[in-house]
Structure 1
Amino acid sequence: MTHILKLNPLTKADFAPFGEVLEVAGDPDKIINQGLCGRYHDLAQIDIVDGRPGISLFNAEARVFPIALEMVERHPVGSQAFLPMSHHPFVVVAAPDENGTPGQPRAFITTAGQGINFARNTWHGVLTPIHAPGLFAVVDRIGEGPNLQEHWFDTPYVING
């Protein structure tokens, strides 16, 4: 038997327990570059333990609905931000922690131009673009030692588009 996850729009309020939504919304904090650029300042808490923040590029294969969610992962010593390098939405899955294992997962769909930052130690699904190219800039911890825990579900979840 599978569990069905409803796909919800990604909003700052709904995603707040898991991290930050990164988007251009409202008026910029500051106008820079000779008045030609709005700066939306300090949108994410980059939280790194025993390492340094780094920027990597990920090129993920686009998925097709229905999407099977068989596992989630978390990074105990570093937050992880995903910034799409195309103007396409992608699927985001996050789950609360319940005594060291993931609770009920939630599935979100971004709007074009939204990115996310998973807070340190947050259970989340893998990078899930639904359009090619699945090219993302990722800001996360670079350092020695383990920073990945995986949890495989006994019964998978299914995300319908």
Structure 2
Amino acid sequence: MSPAPLTAEAFAPYGTVIAHRGETRRHPIRLDHGDAGRDGAIASWVTRIDAAIGGDTAHEITAFERHPHSDQAFVPLSGQRYLVVVCDGTADDRPDPATARAFVAGPGQGIVYHRNAWHAGMQVYDAPAEFFVQMKRVAAGPDDEFVALASPLRIACPEEAPA
């Protein structure tokens, strides 16, 4: 599979692209932080990734994750390109690698994964990279679900990633 450029339309089933669009000063971004009645708090942090993927070999995705109680936002702070890999769920509520889609996000694009959207962990083409991350942390119940794949999903290196 080869990653495509990240667009709001292509990514819409899985989340929201964070980028300014239109002529107005503000462009609102929807974040669903889950059930208001559940205990929890909005958690925000900066994450750093020191190792880049890329080169001239394919990258392998070995697991998918999702967050059952909240959308999860990633906003790049250091202007890097990064890989976004998402997939649908199966009838038995597992990630379905056969439906996977891969995107290359360029500088100036953040993302919001919808609550329960299966996605691969953050991978960057340019390192080091830093992201502002925000999601709801719930006191009762797990906020993160990780599922290893039976066989790795191979993502080709993009020939022309956005710069």
TM-score clears 0.5: yes
Distance 2:34 2:48 in 1: 23
TM-aligned CA deviation for residue 146 of structure 1: 0.6
Distance 2:59 2:12 in 1: 24
Q: Which residue of 2 aligns with 1:101?
A: 94
Aligned pair count reads 147
Q: Partner residue of 1:110? A: 105
2:149 to 150, 153, 158: 153
> Contact 2:137 / 2:143 at 8 angstroms: preserved in 1?
no
Contact 1:47/1:119 (8 A) holds in 2: no
Which residue of 2 is the match for residue 26 of structure 1? 22
Shift of 1:135: 0.4
Contact map agreement 2:52 2:128 (CA 8 A) in 1: no
Q: Which runs of 4+ in 1 moved over 6 A?
A: none
Report the counterpart of residue 32 of structure 1 in structure 2. Answer: none
Give the superposition deviation at 1:62.
3.1
Residue 64 of structure 1 pairs with residue 57 of structure 2: no
Contact 2:43 2:134 in 1 (8 A): yes
Query: What's the CA shift string for 1:41-89, capped at 9, x where partnerless?
Result: x212232232222211111233222221010001111110000001121
1:99-129 CA deviation, whole Å, 9 max, x = no partner? 2011221110012110000000110000111
Aligned-partner residue type, residue 134 of structure 1: A
Trace 1:31-42 onto structure 2 (pairs within 5 A): 38-40=25-27, 42=28
Kept in 2: contact 1:46–1:53 (CA 8 A): no
- Structure 1 residue runs of 5 or longer lacking an equivalent are 29-37
How far apart in 2 are the matches of 1:133 and 1:46? 29
Identity of matched residues, % = 29
Q: What TM-score comes out, normalization by structure 1 length?
A: 0.85
Cα root mean square deviation, aligned: 1.4
TM-score by length of 2: 0.84
Match of 2:160 in 1: none
User: Whose strand fraction is larger, Structure 1's or Structure 2's?
Assistant: 1
Taking the aligned partners of 2:85 and 2:30, their CA distance within structure 1 comes to: 18
